[in-house]
Amino acid sequence: MTTRADPPMFDAAFQAKLALLIAWRRDVRRFRDEAVPQAMLDHLLDLVQLSPSVGNSQPWRIVSVTQKARRAAIRANFEQANAAALQSYQGERAALYARLKLSGLDIAPVHWAIFCDHATRQGQGLGTATMPEMLDASVSGMIATLWLAARAQGLGLGWVSILDPRAATATLDVPSDWKLIAYLCIGWPQEEHADPELVRFRWQNRTLAGRQVLER
Amino acid sequence: MTTRADPPMFDAAFQAKLALLIAWRRDVRRFRDEAVPQAMLDHLLDLVQLSPSVGNSQPWRIVSVTQKARRAAIRANFEQANAAALQSYQGERAALYARLKLSGLDIAPVHWAIFCDHATRQGQGLGTATMPEMLDASVSGMIATLWLAARAQGLGLGWVSILDPRAATATLDVPSDWKLIAYLCIGWPQEEHADPELVRFRWQNRTLAGRQVLER
Residue B14 and residue A14: Cβ atoms within 8 Å? yes
pLDDT, tens only, A76-127: 999 999 999 999 999 999 999 999 999 999 999 999 999 999 999 999 999 9
| Spans of all domains in chain B | 27-200
- DSSP letter for A55, please: G
pLDDT, tens only, B148-182: 999 999 999 999 999 999 999 999 999 999 999 99
Per-residue confidence band for A5, with pLDDT thresholds at 50, 70 and 90: low
- What is the model's pLDDT at position B13? 97
pLDDT, tens only, A198-211: 999 999 999 999 99
The CATH number of domain B27-200 is 3.40.109.10: yes
- What is the model's pLDDT at position B6? 85
The helix (run of H) or strand (run of E) holding residue A9 is none
Q: CA nearest A171: which of A59, A76, A29, A61?
A: A76
d(CA A188, CA A31): 5
Q: Is it the case that residue A3 has pLDDT exceeding 60?
A: no
Q: CA nearest A114: which of A94, A136, A134?
A: A136
In this structure, are residues A128 and A55 in contact, taking their beta carbons and an 8 Å threshold? yes
Interfacial A residues in 118-147 facing B (CB < 8 Å): 120, 122-131, 133-134, 136-138, 140-145, 147
**In 10 A of CB A197, how many CB atoms?**
19
Instruction: Over range B94-122, report the average pLDDT.
Output: 97
- What is the model's pLDDT at position B206? 97
d(CA B12, CA A112): 25
Residue A7: which of B4, B24, B141 has the nearest Cβ?
A: B24
Asked if B165 is an interface residue toward chain A (Cβ–Cβ < 8 A), one would say yes
Confirm whether pTM is higher than 0.95: yes
- What is the model's pLDDT at position B1? 45
The CATH number of domain A27-85+102-189 is 3.40.50.300: no
Residue B216 and residue A23: Cβ atoms within 8 Å? no
Chain B positions in Cβ-Cβ contact with residue A126 (cut-off 8 Å): 85, 97, 102, 198, 203-204
Per-residue confidence band for A187, with pLDDT thresholds at 50, 70 and 90: very high
Per-residue confidence band for A4, with pLDDT thresholds at 50, 70 and 90: low
SS (HEC) of B49-69: CCCCCHHHCCCEEEEECCCHH
Phi/psi for A117 (5° steps) reads -85, 100
B114, β-bridge pairs: B62, B182
Per-residue confidence band for A1, with pLDDT thresholds at 50, 70 and 90: very low
Q: CA nearest B154: which of B106, B188, B190?
A: B188
- What is the model's pLDDT at position B110? 98
- What is the model's pLDDT at position A122? 97
Q: Is it the case that residue A2 has pLDDT exceeding 70?
A: no
d(CA A63, CA A144): 17
- What is the model's pLDDT at position A160? 97
d(CA B149, CA A134): 21
Asked if B16 is an interface residue toward chain A (Cβ–Cβ < 8 A), one would say no
Per-residue confidence band for B5, with pLDDT thresholds at 50, 70 and 90: low
Residue A148 and residue B145: Cβ atoms within 8 Å? yes
Share of chain B above pLDDT 90, in %: 97
- What is the model's pLDDT at position B4? 52
ipTM of the prediction greater than 0.95, yes or no: yes
